[in-house]
Structure 1
Amino acid sequence: MPEKVLIYSRLPKSLTQRFADRFELLDSGGTPAHEVFPAEEVAQIRALITAGGTPLGADDMDRLPALGAIVCYGTGYDGVDLKAAAARNIVVGHSPGANAAAVADVALMLMLASVRRLTAADSYVRTGGWVEARPSPLLKPPPGLSGCKVGVYGMGEIGRKIAARVAAFETEVGYFSRTRHDDLPYQYLSSLDALAEWCTVLMIAVRAGAETTHIVDADLLKKIGPDGHVINISRGSVIDEGALLVALKDGIIAGAGLDVFETEPHAPDGLTSLQNVVVTPHIGGNTRESHVAMQACVVANLAAFFAGETLPYQVK
Structure 2
Amino acid sequence: MTLTHETPPHRAEAAQPQKILQAGPLPPGLAGQLPTLGPVEILSDMPDPEAFLQERGGDFAVLVTTGTGGAGRSLIDALPNLKAICSLGVGYDAIDMEAVRARGLMVSNTPDVLNDCVADLAMGLLIDVVRGLSASDRHVRRGDWNRVGPTRPSTRVSGKRLGLLGMGRIGQVIARRATGFDMDIRYHTRSAKPHLPWQHEPSLIALAQWCDFLIVACPGSPETFHLVSADVLKALGPQGYLVNVARGTVVDERALVAALQNGELAGAGLDVFEHEPEVPAELIVSEQVVLLPHVGSATRETRAAMCNLVLDNVRAFLAEGRLLTPIGL
Q: Could you state the TM-score of these two structures normalised by the residue count of structure 1?
A: 0.93
Question: Quick one: structure 1 residues 36 and 73, their matched pair in 2 at CA, closer, same or farther if it must change by over 3 Å?
Answer: farther
Amino acid aligned to 1:193: I
Cα distance, 1:3 vs. partner? 3.9
- Identical positions, percent: 39
Matches within 5 A, 1:10-89: 10-29=25-44, 34-35=49-50, 37=52, 39-89=54-104
Determine if the alignment matches structure 1 residue 199 to structure 2 residue 214: no
Cα distance, 1:22 vs. partner? 2.6
Within 2, Cα distance between the matches of 1:5 and 1:268? 37
Question: Quick one: structure 1 residues 3 and 13, their matched pair in 2 at CA, closer, same or farther if it must change by over 3 Å?
Answer: farther
Matches within 5 A, 1:1-316: 3-29=18-44, 34-35=49-50, 37=52, 39-134=54-149, 139-316=151-328
Cα distance, 1:185 vs. partner? 2.0
Within 1, Cα distance between the matches of 2:223 and 2:298? 27
Within 2, Cα distance between the matches of 1:109 and 1:25? 39
Amino acid aligned to 1:234: A
State which drifts further: 18-27 or 78-87: 18-27
- Do 2:268 and 2:289's aligned partners in 1 also have CA atoms closer than 8 Å? yes
Within 2, Cα distance between the matches of 1:255 and 1:190? 25
State which drifts further: 144-153 or 287-296: 287-296
State which drifts further: 295-304 or 25-34: 25-34
Report the secondary structure of 2:246's partner residue. Answer: coil
Q: Structure 2: state its 5+ residue gaps.
A: 1-15
Cα distance, 1:208 vs. partner? 0.5
Question: Quick one: structure 1 residues 22 and 306, their matched pair in 2 at CA, closer, same or farther if it must change by over 3 Å?
Answer: closer
- Do 1:18 and 1:295's aligned partners in 2 also have CA atoms closer than 8 Å? no
Cα distance, 1:200 vs. partner? 0.7
Cα distance, 1:14 vs. partner? 4.3
How many residue pairs match? The answer is: 313
Amino acid aligned to 2:124: M
Within 1, Cα distance between the matches of 2:308 and 2:104? 24
Compare CA radii of gyration and give the structure with the larger one. 2
Report the secondary structure of 1:219's partner residue. Answer: helix
Cα distance, 1:230 vs. partner? 0.4
Q: Structure 1: state its 5+ residue gaps.
A: none
Cα distance, 1:34 vs. partner? 4.0
